[in-house]
């Protein structure tokens, strides 16, 4: 069999493996919906469905607040003034990089470092630390939230492994560290996941916003649920009407895996967990492509020189996919530059075209999986899609990939037909930090 014919056969096999038809998306929606109901009832399932103990913003919240945003190795401290009427001033922001000695060391040291960052921000901005300013804390890791300002870490993700935190109240740990730094007068009044913060931030200006999604390094979603539907909160009376639920949808596992997905999962630190995230998010998509081109080189479908720089796990970055898929130049010269920059000095036009097709198949599947999960969330709130919904969206993959957003919206049209126009996905950049400040305001209202 000549190379061209062999390449065509390989691509057809890949297309079948990574295709997500409308019937398959509908199946995923049904399974996702069942998992949501199990989670809301407190039964074992792949979706935790964690109560956030907060609803949407009214847009009338006012005051100055400090917000913390811990979602990865970059930590942000903000001061935000809410002016009411859906308006707020330009935030003051400082960013800090968290070293591995803190992400992988003792939890106490991590929270001490966070407290020192807050102190540095207060000193830089000349804030009055004795004023008892309220503080909102965005903590973007799975947690079992017990109240608006109390949450127990379920497990670390995103490369964190600090000891002594799992099962502990992260607000309590932060308060202890604040006291050490002489910041005991700061009131940590609200705790939120980044998706919850994103939804709340958008709802401050968009009253009908009822879904928040992150599609970046990781992925997650939250939505507004009727309290009467949250069966595991039987007898709860702290809120009336609706509450935001953090689905932790990255852990959804009722999905068909290709051999590449299975290989990625076997090699991961959290084997058997975060299956949807491993098929959708920026942390993993590049690795799926790497495993495919490694297979292609072994089968002689692609020159072995192309795989040479990508022998190690994680060496094919998801950012490469964005550059490769966005290349419309003759001969795919941008793809050639990406490969050369990585160490593959020689590549044929045929191999570059093959690589672009592989990247497109992997990212397209991720977008259609995301659309299927979003469709299930929308249907949980509004089965007939009878009203308009605004989805607050944040995350570098959704924002920067040349086709992800388009493929996701196209899949929603395939699922819902003309009714898909009732779903407005609104990019809400850096909403997690802003949302934390607004939630702190809600806590004091």
Dihedral of the CA atoms 202, 207, 212, 215 (nearest 10)? -50
Give the closest residue to 77 by CA, choosing from 37, 35, 121.
Answer: 121
Is 60 exceeded by the pLDDT of residue 1? Answer: no
The pLDDT confidence band at residue 11, using thresholds 50, 70 and 90, is confident
pLDDT score of 22: 97
Give the closest residue to 37 by CA, choosing from 253, 245, 197.
Answer: 245
Average pLDDT, the chain: 92
Whether this model's pTM surpasses 0.85? yes
Distance CA 331, CA 348 (A): 9
Is 80 exceeded by the pLDDT of residue 235? Answer: no
Residue 198: phi and psi, rounded to 5, are: -65, -45
Q: What is the DSSP string of 258-324?
A: PHHHHHHHHHSTTTTS-HHHHHHSTTTHHHHHHHHHHHHHHTTSS-HHHHGGG-STT-S-HHHHHHH
pLDDT score of 444: 66
Do 9 and 402 touch, CB atoms closer than 8 A?
no
- Percentage of the chain lying above the pLDDT 70 cut: 97
In angstroms, how far is CA 91 from the centroid of its own chain? 23
Distance CA 206, CA 59 (A): 8
The residues near 403 (Cβ < 8 Å, ≥ 6 apart) are 325, 360, 363, 364, 367
Q: pLDDT (tens digit, 9 = 90+) per residue, 173-208?
A: 999 999 999 999 898 999 999 999 999 999 999 999
Q: Which helix (H) or strand (E) holds 189?
A: strand 187-192
pLDDT score of 157: 81
pLDDT top residue among 368 and 434: 368
The whole-number average pLDDT for the span 331-357 is: 92
Burial profile 399-411: b = 16 or more Cβ within 10 angstroms, e = fewer: eebbbbbebbebb
DSSP classification of residue 169: B
Distance CA 117, CA 135 (A): 14
Do 21 and 367 touch, CB atoms closer than 8 A?
no
- Listing from the earlier edge strand, what are the strands of the sheet with 219-226? 50-51, 242-246, 219-226, 209-215, 389-394, 423-427
Residue 96's DSSP bridge partners are: 75
194 is catalytic: yes
The whole-number average pLDDT for the span 213-220 is: 94
Distance CA 293, CA 355 (A): 8
The pLDDT confidence band at residue 109, using thresholds 50, 70 and 90, is very high
Is 60 exceeded by the pLDDT of residue 394? Answer: yes
The pLDDT confidence band at residue 262, using thresholds 50, 70 and 90, is very high
Is 80 exceeded by the pLDDT of residue 300? Answer: no
Q: pLDDT (tens digit, 9 = 90+) per residue, 308-331?
A: 899 999 999 999 999 999 999 999
Do 244 and 200 touch, CB atoms closer than 8 A?
yes
Residue 82: phi and psi, rounded to 5, are: -90, 130
Q: Annotated catalytic residue: which of 69, 112, 169, 194?
A: 194
Do 344 and 309 touch, CB atoms closer than 8 A?
yes
Do 79 and 65 touch, CB atoms closer than 8 A?
yes
The whole-number average pLDDT for the span 20-28 is: 98
Domain boundaries along the sequence of the chain? 51-204+430-443
Burial profile 339-349: b = 16 or more Cβ within 10 angstroms, e = fewer: beebebeebee
Cβ neighbours of 102 (radius 10 Å): 20
Query: 51-204+430-443 sits in which CATH class?
Result: alpha beta
Is 60 exceeded by the pLDDT of residue 346? Answer: yes
pLDDT score of 53: 92
The whole-number average pLDDT for the span 343-367 is: 93
Distance CA 216, CA 283 (A): 8
pLDDT score of 2: 60
Q: Annotated catalytic residue: which of 43, 95, 158, 406?
A: 158
Q: What is the DSSP string of 72-112?
A: SSEEEEEEEEEEETTEEPPPEEEEEEPPHHHHSSBHHHHHH
Distance CA 287, CA 292 (A): 9
Q: Residue 203 has which token pair?
A: 């709802």
pLDDT score of 177: 97
The whole-number average pLDDT for the span 161-181 is: 96
pLDDT top residue among 74 and 422: 422
The pLDDT confidence band at residue 12, using thresholds 50, 70 and 90, is confident
In angstroms, how far is CA 219 from the centroid of its own chain? 3
């Amino acid at each position: 069999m000549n190379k061209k014919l062999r390449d065509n056969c390989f691509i057809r096999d890949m297309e079948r493996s990574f295709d997500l038809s409308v019937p398959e998306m509908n199946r995923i929606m049904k399974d996702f919906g069942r998992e949501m109901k199990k989670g809301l009832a407190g039964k074992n399932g792949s979706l935790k469905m964690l109560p956030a103990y907060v609803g949407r913003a009214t847009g009338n919240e006012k005051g100055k607040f400090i917000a913390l945003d811990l979602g990865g190795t970059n930590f942000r401290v903000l001061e935000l003034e809410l002016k009411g009427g859906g308006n707020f001033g330009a935030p003051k922001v400082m960013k800090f990089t968290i070293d591995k000695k803190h992400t992988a060391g003792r939890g106490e040291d991590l929270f001490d470092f966070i407290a020192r960052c807050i102190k540095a921000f207060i000193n830089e901005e000349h804030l009055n630390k004795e004023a008892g300013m309220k503080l909102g804390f965005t903590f973007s890791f799975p947690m079992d939230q017990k109240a608006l300002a109390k949450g127990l870490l379920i497990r670390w993700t995103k490369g964190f492994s600090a000891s002594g935190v799992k099962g502990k109240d992260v607000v309590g740990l932060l308060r202890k560290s604040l006291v050490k730094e002489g910041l005991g007068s700061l009131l940590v009044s609200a705790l939120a996941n980044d998706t919850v913060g994103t939804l709340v931030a958008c709802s401050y200006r968009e009253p009908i916003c009822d879904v928040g999604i992150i599609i970046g390094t990781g992925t997650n979603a939250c939505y507004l649920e009727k309290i009467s539907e949250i069966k595991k909160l039987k007898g709860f009376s702290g809120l009336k009407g609706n509450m935001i639920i953090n689905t932790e949808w990255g852990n959804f596992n009722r999905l068909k895996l290709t051999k590449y997905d299975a290989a990625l999962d076997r090699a991961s630190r959290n084997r058997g967990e975060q299956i949807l995230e491993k098929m959708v998010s920026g942390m993993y998509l590049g690795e799926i492509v790497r495993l495919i081109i490694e297979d292609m080189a072994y089968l002689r479908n692609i020159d072995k020189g192309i795989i040479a720089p990508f022998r190690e796990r994680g060496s094919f970055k998801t950012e490469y996919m964005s550059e490769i898929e966005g290349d419309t130049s003759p001969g795919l010269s941008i793809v050639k530059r990406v490969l050369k920059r990585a160490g593959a000095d020689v590549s044929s036009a045929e191999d570059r075209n093959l690589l672009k097709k592989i990247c497109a198949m992997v990212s397209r599947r991720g977008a259609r999986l995301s659309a299927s999960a979003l469709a299930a969330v929308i249907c949980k709130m509004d089965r007939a899609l009878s009203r308009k919904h605004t989805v607050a969206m944040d995350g570098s993959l959704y924002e920067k990939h040349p086709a992800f957003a388009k493929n996701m919206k196209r899949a929603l049209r395939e699922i819902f037909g003309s009714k898909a126009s009732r779903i407005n996905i609104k990019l809400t950049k850096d909403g997690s930090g802003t949302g934390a400040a607004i939630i702190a305001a809600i806590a004091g209202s």
